[in-house]
């Protein structure tokens, strides 16, 4: 995966330079749904990344956030690209956003990269070169900083209100930052203690989940079983808890964050 990793870094870094030039520009090119927009910056970054990937790997598939690459390919190797995780943050000049690039080998992620284009923090892991593990100090739920992630639907907002109320009573702090790939990278690096995701999308979280697991973190589905992002899940809503420790992940589930 050394060549794949090098090309992904090169693509992300060039796209990052293009994004820095556009930071705070809310040039909307499409409305994709409730509170969900496409910016000119999304398209510019995606063009750069896709060009790098397909020039280097012409027989690989690409699925990305924006057209014309929004359909999942059935090729053995598929790059999953979110050119601007946290589009609304970016457009409003809020410095919490990322570029996320993952490589699927059949059903499993084998490489993940998350790059914060503004701070230039970079998180990269492959199946053979994991993210450096951060020493894990057990954090009680009452002391935990937890990211809450959902979608833009009415049910998503209803879930968030319930989860935010639970976090206000049971956690040190809850954050709702609307950039799930970057939030998961921060869980992997130990900056955030956990994420609870309700009905998310594979493209938004596949790379970040790989980073968390690569760094020795714990990811559980809503029933408490180990959870791994797979390409075959691309048409399903994904709900999970990701944490630096197994104890915290289980405690968040027990507290009812993903209960119906």
What tens digit of pLDDT does each residue of 110-169 get? 999 999 999 999 999 999 999 887 777 789 999 999 999 999 889 999 999 999 999 999
Q: What is the pLDDT of residue 260?
A: 74
Domain end residue (candidates: 98, 126, 154): 126
- The confidence score (pLDDT) of residue 71 equals 92
Q: 99 and 157: one domain? A: no
What does the pLDDT read at residue 55?
Answer: 98
Looking at the fold, whether 149 and 247 belong to one and the same domain comes out as: yes
Mutual angle of helices 202-214 and 180-189, in 10-degree steps: 10
Residues 108, 20 share a domain:
yes
- What pLDDT band is residue 28 in, cutting at 50, 70 and 90? confident
Residue 129's contacts (CB-CB under 8 Å, 6 or more residues apart) are 1, 5
Give the pLDDT band of residue 66 (cuts 50, 70, 90). confident
Q: How many domains does the chain have?
A: 2
In a domain, 171, yes or no: yes
Name the band, by pLDDT with cuts 50, 70 and 90, for residue 27.
confident
Lowest mean pLDDT segment, chosen from 34-48, 150-164, 178-192, 224-238: 34-48
Same domain, 50 and 99: yes
% the chain with pLDDT above 70: 98
Domain span at residue 72 reads 2-126
**What confidence tens digit (pLDDT) does each residue in 96-107 have?**
999 999 999 999
122 lies in the same domain as 21: yes
| pLDDT attached to residue 243 | 97
CA distances from residue 95 to 17, 150, 175 in whole angstroms, order as listed: 14, 20, 14
Same domain, 194 and 89: no
The reported pLDDT for the residue numbered 135 is 73
Confidence bin at 25 (pLDDT 50/70/90)? confident
pLDDT at 65: 87
Do residues 122 and 164 both lie within one domain? no
Residue 120 lies in a domain: yes
User: Does the residue 89 lie in any domain?
Assistant: yes
91 plus 191 within the same structural domain: no
Domain boundary among 126, 157, 179: 126
Q: 167 with 116, same domain? A: no
Is 131 within the bounds of a domain?
A: no
pLDDT confidence of residue 124: 97
Quick check: is 132 in a domain? no
What is residue 32's predicted lDDT score, i.e. its pLDDT?
74
43's tokens: 């398209």
The pLDDT of 215-224, averaged and rounded, is 96
The pLDDT of 165-193, averaged and rounded, is 96
Q: Would you state the pLDDT for residue 31?
A: 72
């Amino acid at each position: 995966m050394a060549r794949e990793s090098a090309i992904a870094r090169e693509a992300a870094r060039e796209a990052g330079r293009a994004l820095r030039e556009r930071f705070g520009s809310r040039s909307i090119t499409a409305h994709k749904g409730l509170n969900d927009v496409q910016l000119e910056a999304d398209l510019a970054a995606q063009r750069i990344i896709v060009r790098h990937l397909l020039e280097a790997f012409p027989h690989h598939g690409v699925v990305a956030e924006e057209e014309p690459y929004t359909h999942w390919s059935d090729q053995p190797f598929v790059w999953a690209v979110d050119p601007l995780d946290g589009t609304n943050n970016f457009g409003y000049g809020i410095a919490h956003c990322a570029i996320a690039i993952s490589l699927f080998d059949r059903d499993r992620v084998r490489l993940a990269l998350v790059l914060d284009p503004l701070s230039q923090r970079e998180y990269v892991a492959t199946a053979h070169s994991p993210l450096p593990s951060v020493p894990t100090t057990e954090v009680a739920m009452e002391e935990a900083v937890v990211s809450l992630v959902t979608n833009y639907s009415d049910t998503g907002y209803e879930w968030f209100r319930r989860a935010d109320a639970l976090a206000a009573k049971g956690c040190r702090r809850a954050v709702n930052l609307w950039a799930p790939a970057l939030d998961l990278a921060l869980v992997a690096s130990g900056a955030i203690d956990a994420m609870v995701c309700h009905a998310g999308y594979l493209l938004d979280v596949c790379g970040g989940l790989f980073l968390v697991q690569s760094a020795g973190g714990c990811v559980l589905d809503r029933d408490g079983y180990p959870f791994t992002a797979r390409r075959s899940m691309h048409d399903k809503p994904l709900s999970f808890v990701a944490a630096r420790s197994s104890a915290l992940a289980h405690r968040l589930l027990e507290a009812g964050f993903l209960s119906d």
